[in-house]
Chains A and B, each alone.
Chain A
Amino acid sequence: DIQMTQSPSSLSASVGDRVTITCQASQDINNYLNWYQQKPGKAPNLLISDASNLETGVPSRFSGSGSGTYFTFTITSLQPEDVATYYCQQYDNLSVTFGGGTKVKIK
């Protein structure tokens, strides 16, 4: 099974800061990597698909990049409403794995 190592597990940043989360796959997953945002008490919400495709309606301050085994998720200017836990998710053939999540807080 493909393992996804997401880091950091939590971070605290100021409003306006640039925030970066990484996700590393245990083997090449091409660009089959998605990013989700989950706010407390809510289901996850798809932000980015296939490593870098921003979903319709998602603010442009969110972005993703990478391919193969290393991926990054960036919030260019952190806003109060971005407080949430973010998850990466890979899909390769019939396998699906989530990263452990990154809890983003405001300093």
Chain B
Amino acid sequence: EVQLVESGGGLVQPGRSLRLSCAASGFIFNDYAMHWVRQTPGKGLEWVSGISWDSDNIVYADSVKGRFTISRDNAKNSLYLQMNSLRAEDTALYYCAKVWTFKTVFDIWGQGTMVTVSS
């Protein structure tokens, strides 16, 4: 079964850091680019960041550029999101998502991990 399982969310104070993880199974992880997408409670979807299969190409939304770092470990079938200098507006449910080869079509999503930034 193709599956993505996120972890690492929680309550964190503004200005602090958090690292999210996404464990992939059921597909050849190192064949595909991976992304993080977040959703503010009761609101819409916001793309956060993406990384190519070989980590050579990395992109970020302007809202997180310079604060968040995406990475992957293909040997561990895992995707990561290092979030620094967290702000209240980063509070959201964070999904990891797999995309097709050559096209940013999100075909597999995890269940999400909740990040709450509050003092």
Contact = CB atoms under 8 A, between A and B. Distances in A.
Interface string B79-96: 000000000000000010
A19 interface: no
Contact of A100 (B44, B100, B107): B44
B44 A43 contact: no
A98 B107 contact: no
A28 to B, nearest CB: 17
B103 A43 contact: no
The dominant DSSP class at the A interface is strand
Nearest to A36: B106
Given A46-B106, A49-B103, A94-B57, A101 B44 contact: yes
Contacts of B59: 94-95
Contacts of A34: 105-106
A87 interface: yes
Given A1-B62, A94-B57, A44 B107 contact: no
A52 interface: no
Interface residues of A, number: 22
A34 B47 CA distance: 14
Contacts of B50: 94, 96
Contacts of A44: 45, 95, 106, 109
Interface string B17-54: 00000000000000000010100000011110010000
Interface of A: 1, 32, 34, 36, 38, 43-46, 49-50, 87, 89, 91, 94-101
26 contacts: A1-B62, A34-B105, A34-B106, A36-B45, A36-B106, A43-B109, A43-B110, A43-B112, A44-B95, A45-B109, A46-B107, A49-B103, A89-B45, A89-B106, A91-B103, A91-B104, A94-B57, A96-B47, A96-B50, A96-B104, A97-B47, A98-B37, A98-B45, A98-B47, A100-B44, A101-B45
Given A45-B109, A101-B44, 7 more contacts: A44-B45, A50-B105, A87-B44, A97-B47, A98-B45, A98-B46, A99-B44
